Amino acid sequence: MARMTPELTVVLDKLSYLEGPRWHEGRVWVSDFYTHQVLSALPNGSDPRVEAEVPTQPSGLGWLPDGRLLIVSMRDHRLLRREASGELVVHADLSEFCTGHLNDMVVDSAGRAYVGNFGFDLMAGDDMRTAALVRVEPDGTATQVADDLYFPNGAAIIRNGSTGSDLVVAETLGNRISAFALGADGSVGERRDWATFGDPPAGRAFGEVLAALVVGADGICADAEGAVWAADALGNRAVRIVGGEIVQTVDAGTGVFAVTLGGDDGHTLFLCTAPSFAEHERRDTRDAVLLATRVEVPATIGS
């Protein structure tokens, strides 16, 4: 395993807690939980913009084929859509599928969103409950496509050989990343292991589950070789995974909670970092930083 201590540059700083990073139309986009803002900037951090304000806490981001932005609104379990006018409207209400805060998502080229949720009250330290994964069609129709997932979090779509694609989902509390075959119509196959880092949880007490994690895979992205970069929420690092094995790490020296690839040539790895994930520690502080470093393998074309 190659361990990197790369040059890390600051893109954005003095924020609360960053998630959902995406590269889109020459800019890096990110959600800042406790300032309730979706932000974007040029890759060096210049020309920062507030793209949307979501009082009920923004998270996962994606775009419809016509360019309209989709934003996860965590606390009211809604997927929002930003119209051309800038107005935010409800794209889908996912309350019936959620047992915890709505969370990260990935949007495919057809505009289908695949969205996870916490499953339980994470910040209260409640006992862990498994959660569902929901597909939202471009017209807002929502369908549960998987369940019994251990905190479904970051997601990516990668090619599965020459025949199709896989939806890859980080299960943060499950010591694993799971994969689901995707049909051309957006249908989702059975769950299978894509990478495993240790045993799945033996109990439900949150502290015990956390202590048993080897890798807490949080936000993820895929590269042009079909590898996955995952933020290790407990390891102060990002890890590149090939064939189920960690082959490379980027040590950040602070908590890493989400990653994405972008930059003008696709070789920039952006890392959402903060000292911790606890709401009571992050809500009223401004210690979150979006970092960037160069990597060898670029983003998938079109990502």
Three-state secondary structure string covering 93-146: ECHHHCCCCEEEEEECCCCCEEEEECCCCCCCCCCCCCEEEEEECCCCCEEEEE
CATH of the domain at 19: 2.120.10.30
**Does residue 184 lie in a domain region?**
yes
Tell me the residue range of the domain where 88 lies.
Answer: 2-294
pLDDT tens, 193-233? Answer: 999 999 999 999 999 999 999 999 999 999 999 999 999 99
Give me the pLDDT at residue 300, please.
82
**Does residue 212 lie in a domain region?**
yes
Give me the pLDDT at residue 162, please.
64
Q: Is the pLDDT of residue 303 over 60?
A: no
Where is average pLDDT lowest: 147-151, 155-159, 162-166, 287-291?
A: 162-166
pLDDT tens, 172-190? Answer: 999 999 999 999 999 999 9
Question: What residues contact residue 260 under an 8 Å CB cut-off, 6+ apart?
Answer: 21, 22, 23, 28, 219, 221, 269, 270
pLDDT tens, 257-277? Answer: 999 999 999 999 999 999 999
Segment 89-107 mean pLDDT: 97
**Does residue 102 lie in a domain region?**
yes
Domain count across the chain: 1
**Does residue 300 lie in a domain region?**
no
Give me the pLDDT at residue 253, please.
94
Segment 73-78 mean pLDDT: 98
Band of pLDDT at residue 160, cut at 50, 70 and 90: confident
Q: Is the pLDDT of residue 302 over 60?
A: no
**Does residue 299 lie in a domain region?**
no
**Does residue 302 lie in a domain region?**
no
Q: What is the pTM of this model?
A: 0.96
**Does residue 70 lie in a domain region?**
yes
**Does residue 162 lie in a domain region?**
yes
Question: What residues contact residue 203 under an 8 Å CB cut-off, 6+ apart?
Answer: 209
Q: Average pLDDT of the chain?
A: 95
